Amino acid sequence: MDNFFEKVLQHPSYYRQFNCSNTLITVFNCPMEARLMKSRFADLWTQYNYLFYVVDGRKIWHTAQGAYDIGKGSCVFVRKGAFILEQILETGFCVVLFFIPDEFICDTLKTRSKPLSKYGKQYNPLMLLNTSETLASFFLSISSYFGEANEPDPSLLELKFKELILTIADNPHNTELLSYFCSLLHEPGSNALQRVMEENYCFNLKMEQYATLSNRSLSAFKRDFQELYNTTPGKWLLGKRLNHALHLLTHLNRTISEAAFESGFENPSHFSRTFRQHFGTTPASIKQPIPA
């Protein structure tokens, strides 16, 4: 899978970029972005959360929890992890985009004079924000930077990132995202690891990428995973992916190719061999109709 953050960094001629550190970037993304999409679907992941405001256009985000059709006027927060991006080829896509690491969110929230209230534990991979007048004014102020020849000072950009986080946190209507912010501040490390795995097992990520998403080195990731699940990451992932594929075949009427793709397997042939070794039967036999 391609790293979304790195993919954007590699194309400064397509995306005007303002950097304020090695991990924070502001991007204005216009219709020319469609040239970078070689196919309708792109498998992507990112180690950073990102937030964007859609100026124009439409795309569909496919996550393990469902699909999200995002269009003009939407303000969206997407948690770090993997996803499949579906390009609507007839239209361009114009957004103001921010990549925001967990650490930056936590450090900013800790500066609030009033601590963040406790919220529930329900939040999705992608969350629509309440577009208040204050937030709309913020994006208007950011957009003005892209029309200027000179780049703003990095310290000013960092202040704008902090303003964005604090503006969101100050709006009680953003309950789902505030729940996620609370989890970043108070969630035990084992819960965070479990959440990363349960939400991303059906994507074809490498072990190093799972480790990065859980804020661990590869060795610490494997050690903590063993303690949490009492098995290795490889065995756990294989079992979860095969059971997910079985569910797709038997309950959601997916084709073999679709089940393989949506379960994180490299190709249908590899999926079919592994499926037969695990279940003692082939995906094709699962798909055959039962005689009347």
CA nearest to 1, candidates 199, 200, 193: 200
Angle at 261 between CA 100 and CA 68, to 5 degrees: 45
Radius of gyration for the chain, computed over Cα atoms and rounded to the nearest angstrom: 21
Q: Is the pTM of this model over 0.75?
A: yes
**How many C-beta atoms lie closer than 10 Å to residue 141's C-beta?**
11
- Give SS3 for 106: helix
In whole angstroms, what is the distance from residue 150 CA to residue 145 CA?
A: 8
Backbone φ and ψ for 67, nearest 5 degrees, come out as: -105, 145
Q: pLDDT value at position 291? A: 44
Listed in sequence order, the DSSP H helices in the chain are 4-9, 102-109, 133-143, 154-169, 175-186, 189-200, 207-213, 218-229, 233-251, 256-262, 268-279, 283-287
Per the CB < 8 A criterion, the answer to whether 100 and 48 are in contact is: yes
Q: pLDDT value at position 30? A: 61
Q: pLDDT value at position 44? A: 94
In whole angstroms, what is the distance from residue 134 CA to residue 82 CA?
A: 30
Provide block-wise average pLDDT over 10 residues at a time, the chain (292 residues). Answer: 88 78 74 58 93 90 91 94 86 85 94 83 90 87 82 89 93 92 90 93 95 96 97 96 94 91 90 94 76 42
In whole angstroms, what is the distance from residue 198 CA to residue 237 CA?
A: 10
Q: pLDDT value at position 290? A: 44
Angle between helices 218-229 and 233-251 (to 10 degrees): 60
Q: pLDDT value at position 29? A: 66
CA nearest to 129, candidates 92, 170, 86, 80: 170
DSSP one-letter string for 102-129: HHHHHHHHTT-SSPPPP--S---SEEEP
Q: pLDDT value at position 288? A: 59
Q: pLDDT value at position 221? A: 97
Q: pLDDT value at position 65? A: 86
Q: pLDDT value at position 70? A: 94
CB neighbour list of residue 205: distance below 8 Å, 6 or more residues apart: 1, 45, 82, 213, 264
